[in-house]
Amino acid sequence: MPHTVSPSETPAMPTIVAKGPSGVPPTSEEISSLLDTIFTSDTSQKSLDGAYALANLLIQGAGCAGLLNYNVLANVRKAASDKKNGAKRESAMLIIGALFERFPREFPLSEAVFLLHDGGIFDIALDALADKGAVVRDAAQYAIDALFGCLSPEAMVNGLIPTLERYLAKGSGKWQGFVGAYSLIEKMAVKAQLGKGSKDEERQKDLLRDAMGKTLKELIPIVESGMHDLKSEVSKQSCKTMTALTTLLSNDDVAPRIPLLIKAMENPSAQTLQKAIHALSQTTFVAIVTSPVLAMLTPLLARSLNTKATPQETLRQTVVVVENLTKLVHDPAEARTFLPNLQPGVKSVKETASLPEVRELATRALDVIETAMKDDHLASGSISKITPEDVLVVLNAKIQEHGGLGGFGDSKLQDLATKFISSMVREDINCRMHDRIPDRIDPYLRGLLADGNTEAVATAVKAHYIAEDEIKFGKPIPEDPNDVEIVNADFSLAYGGMLLLSHTNLRLLKGHRYGLCGRNGAGKSTLMRSIANEKLEGFPPQDVVRTCFVEHNQGEDANLTIFEYVAKDPKIASQGSEHISEVLLEFGFTDGPEGRQSQPVGSLSGGWKMKLALARAMLQKADVLLLDEPTNHLDVANVKWLQEYLKSHTEITSLIVSHDSGFLDEVCTDIYHYESKKLVCYKGNLAAFVKQKPEGKSYYTLSASNVQFKFPPPGILSGIKSMTRAIMRMSNVSYTYPGAPRPSLHDASLSLTLSSRVAIIGGNGAGKSTFIKILTGETIPQTGKVEKHPNLRIGYIKQHALEHVEMHLEKTPSQYLQWRYANGDDREVFLKQTRILTDEDKAQLEKPVDLGDGRGARRIEALIGRQKWKKSFQYEVKWVGLLPKYNTMISRETLLELGFFKLIQEFDDHEASREGLGFRVLDPKTITKHFEDIGMDPEIANHNEISGLSGGQKVKVVLAGAMWNNPHLLVLDEPTNFLDRDSLGGLAVAIRDFKGGVVMISHNEEFVGALCPEQLHIADGRVVSRTNNAISLDRFEDSATNSPSGPGTPATGSAVTSAAPSAVNSGDEGDLKFRAKKKKKMTRAQQKEREIRRRLRYIEWLNSPKGTPKPADSDDE
């Protein structure tokens, strides 16, 4: 209080000991006399003493009813409005301050009286902030702060916010009062922000943040109107308040655009609105959209839709944003609250927009809006929210069971109490904080019940809603008393500026194996790395709980031998060389000078590196194993071994991230799932988790329901009339890497057709990737031959192809595709090492060539044409410094003898690419259709920069580039290692429906079994067996209907063509021939008979009725 003597030092102030009105109620004369004393005191201190005496007298003798029965509040309101008497106004503020400070502590129900009963008296304090007397302003500010400090989050949302909304909406207050009201809203928003307080404090913040978010629909328009106030102090405070309110959104998609959104509100011009809409249209919405996000965006979108002068491009962007947002609204109740504000505007755009494209998009958005507002839309798993009316029914029933209302106060006060309590309890129930329910009922009902048993009523209401919660969400599974808890950590986790987990709990039991599940980008690997680096608050240090992060990343130690790499850890080295060697031997690392233990780490394949990391973890004797995609690169036998190892070591706790559903089903005892920035634990393996959370079904089926793409049909290959005729063949191929003691591939053969579905299967380091490199022409075999159709095009999808897209972040996907194929060739192919001219190649081009035609030696500038010549080709050569009329046709064989292999390869690839493009024009319409087939939204493809796309969308861009020239053969090198379940399902369906050939390397038995009937088993560089199995169509979710699917976000891809010379007369051709069927030569007699038939047919047609089609002459008649 702004006074010289504090209330505690005032001798006239009685001590408060009663918890309710236990004394004799004061008479009206006593109260009136005390009020007169306060208002007529000659000093502020005497008025202050009298105000506290009044508060104490009412608390001990009358309770909340005394505030109303003695007309105390009415007298205070009258005195506060006395413009002629400053002392009275000060005394009124002192009384309000004393009441606000003392009453809520003893009678929390007084909060509702002060804020809501007959308009309350809080607005008096706000008005007093504009008083010309400084002491009055100080007393008013103290009173406001006193009451604000007493309010719980539930009371703030259901008591204070409605009061402030009412005050700001009336428009007749002073600007100082408006500033005070806006600053209180800001304080509440700041109070709700995430912090590092205690667990109870953070739970209260979560509650306040969630409850305030539901009020933004009413708050934002009020605060926005303040941003346009003519008084600069009001507009500045309103802007600060709006900025604070935006922190309640908790949506990572919208967060980067908030400054632009606030700018559009603060300065509502056409330019700022268009910039905000453009920024939103460049946003990839993936997070669930809730009421706070809708409350923030709906006014801006509605303004754009309803403004007649809005450009067509902005309207297009607006309806796209509306559609994308609406698709992510999972609660129909929220949809029905906000979307009706947008529906008329979208309908108007559909009917009146000048551009057909905009009208079509508006039609689509309107359909999505109507679907979203239906009760059954995406709501099969949603839980209906409790309303205050629902709580009021239960509360009244429980009150009647315990004697009913019969204490002090009239029916109006009792009705106010039950409604206020019901509103607060509603917040606790919807946030599932049932432990807070008694504190919202027991103190507030004190003195209102006939028998006074308020605690029993609170307990009964809490029990009722706990039982309802168990019906909705299921009963918690009881824990085994023998379980040993080794970790129980409360923490928050952020990466960069993104909050991944907010005040969640991680509890690990000894010997349990936990699967960590969540969408890509949820923060699974970040959590495990934070644990490994000892940066997770609350997680025990390494000397208490030993953790080991198992990952296949030993690049910095590539030159060390395997034994040296493991033994460099002092804790492992202390176990002795013999023991280390024995453990490595158990993992397949043979000892001895020629064994694997002596090989450098850099020579290991991905699978062996993972086994090395596992061996190192076992030697560290970890209590907790952190396994990030442990089955990546592991063959089937090693996956089986890993499963048995984890299950047999019951003393080790594991935390596992994996997209392999079979592995998770086999080893997991519990599942941790990311839900709304929390970790939620489910008992049982993945199958048990899916029963409780049906959306987890995507872990089991290769479904294209969430991510869809399809591949364009391959182009025509001349001479190929059958899907089963060979288009590529490897024969007796061998290859040894420089310095290697034995061949990586020996005597391997393979024949491929347009209908091939071949899986290359083998152990780690067996030679599978070498096989693929030779097949695609990235490596040339040392023995054997690779034959292919001269115009065969290969799409090679590999793991690290996204780096090429990262070079074009400023382009849209459409612009990237236009750049890539601007000259008819695939520019990405030119970046391959096999296409880059070496110094020897450049020196060869500088050498003059003498063809012996009498024109002397000349230097080749380029190959500019090709034509058929006998059974081979001849190429038109442009000479350096000579005009085109001196160009020469030179046979393929001659050019190969002269060493111009790469020139021939480049021109053959150019011709193959040109044939693949066929009639495809590189215009926006065709490109849009292509991206749509690959599964990318046309709006994103044409208007969003690549820099703003998600990882999955970038992959679609690469895939679209790889498939643009209609490849005949698709080669996938371990695609399942970097795809989530949804993308994997989309890729599987697309491969199933693709009309070209497919070759893949994969350890994912589910993926291979669903797609590839032909399997090549490679071991030690040799093809040891070929099997033909029946494919498992039941792996597909749509296997019953076999409906074609499409697009997805998988594999990084790059379309390349073979680096090897075409088979025709290249020295490598064998039995693979691609010649058209020859026509049989007719004799003279046969030719005469044919002419007679044609002439008679022509005469018959001339005599036929008018309109009869003319018969065609053919060579096959």
Q: Which pLDDT value is given to residue 1051? A: 33
Supply φ then ψ for residue 874, to 5 degrees: -125, 145
Please tell me the distance from the alpha carbon of residue 620 to that of residue 546, in angstroms, as a whole number: 8
DSSP structure class, residue 403: T
Do the beta carbons of residue 704 and residue 1050 sit within 8 Å? no
Indicate the fold that domain 1-150 takes in CATH: 1.25.40
Match 């808890």 to its residue by tokens: 485
* Per-position DSSP letters for 322-342, written without gaps between them: HHHHHHTB--HHHHHHHGGGT
Q: Which of 504, 413, 451 is nearest to 202 (CA)?
A: 504
Do the beta carbons of residue 296 and residue 261 sit within 8 Å? yes
Please tell me the distance from the alpha carbon of residue 372 to that of residue 677, in angstroms, as a whole number: 24
Domain 388-473 has CATH 3.30.70: no
Which amino acid is located at 1069 in the chain? E
Supply φ then ψ for residue 270, to 5 degrees: -65, -35
pLDDT tens, 603-623? Answer: 676 667 777 887 888 888 888
Q: Which two tokens stand for residue 1030?
A: 């029946």
Please tell me the distance from the alpha carbon of residue 776 to that of residue 797, in angstroms, as a whole number: 11
* Per-position DSSP letters for 1004-1016, written without gaps between them: -HHHHHHH-SEEE
Q: Which pLDDT value is given to residue 764? A: 72
Please tell me the distance from the alpha carbon of residue 513 to that of residue 620, in angstroms, as a whole number: 18
* Per-position DSSP letters for 145-176, written without gaps between them: HHHHHH--HHHIIIIIHHHHHHHHHH--S-HH
Which amino acid is located at 30 in the chain? E
CATH of 830-900 given 3.40.640.10, 1.20.1600.10, 2.40.50.40, 3.40.718.10: 2.40.50.40
- 821 in helix, strand or coil? coil
Low-confidence ranges of the chain (pLDDT < 50): 1-20, 376-381, 497, 554-556, 703-705, 1040-1071, 1074, 1076
User: Exposure string (b/e) for 475-507, b if CB count within 10 Å is 16 or more?
Assistant: eeeeeeeeeeebbeeebbbeeeeebbbbbbebb
Q: Which of 572, 571, 495 is nearest to 535 (CA)?
A: 495
Do the beta carbons of residue 428 and residue 437 sit within 8 Å? yes
Q: Which of 299, 298, 181 is nearest to 229 (CA)?
A: 181
Helical residues (DSSP H) of 533-635, grouped into ranges: 562-567, 570-573, 577-586, 606-619
Q: Which pLDDT value is given to residue 513? A: 93
Q: Which pLDDT value is given to residue 618? A: 81
Radius of gyration over every alpha carbon of the chain, rounded to an integer in angstroms? 39
Do the beta carbons of residue 753 and residue 725 sit within 8 Å? yes
Pairing of strands 726-735, 783-788: antiparallel
Question: Per the confidence metrics, is the pTM higher than 0.75?
Answer: no
Q: Which helix (H) or strand (E) holds 891?
A: strand 888-891
Q: Which two tokens stand for residue 257?
A: 């655009």
Which amino acid is located at 544 in the chain? V
Pairing of strands 670-675, 513-517: parallel
Q: Which of 375, 352, 372, 350 is nearest to 361 (CA)?
A: 350
Q: Which pLDDT value is given to residue 1059? A: 33
Please tell me the distance from the alpha carbon of residue 614 to that of residue 608, in angstroms, as a whole number: 10
Supply φ then ψ for residue 860, to 5 degrees: -75, 130
Q: Compute the half-sphere exposure of residue 37: CA atoms within 13 Å on the CB side of its CA.
A: 15
Please tell me the distance from the alpha carbon of residue 1070 to that of residue 1050, in angstroms, as a whole number: 37
Do the beta carbons of residue 441 and residue 458 sit within 8 Å? yes
* Per-position DSSP letters for 757-797, written without gaps between them: EEEEEE-TTSSHHHHHHHHHTSS--SEEEEEE-TT--EEEE
Class of domain 485-554+604-699: alpha beta
Please tell me the distance from the alpha carbon of residue 218 to that of residue 225, in angstroms, as a whole number: 12
Q: Compute the half-sphere exposure of residue 518: CA atoms within 13 Å on the CB side of its CA.
A: 24
- 728 in helix, strand or coil? strand
Cβ-Cβ contacts under 8 Å for 170 (sequence gap 6 or more): none
Q: Which pLDDT value is given to residue 235? A: 92
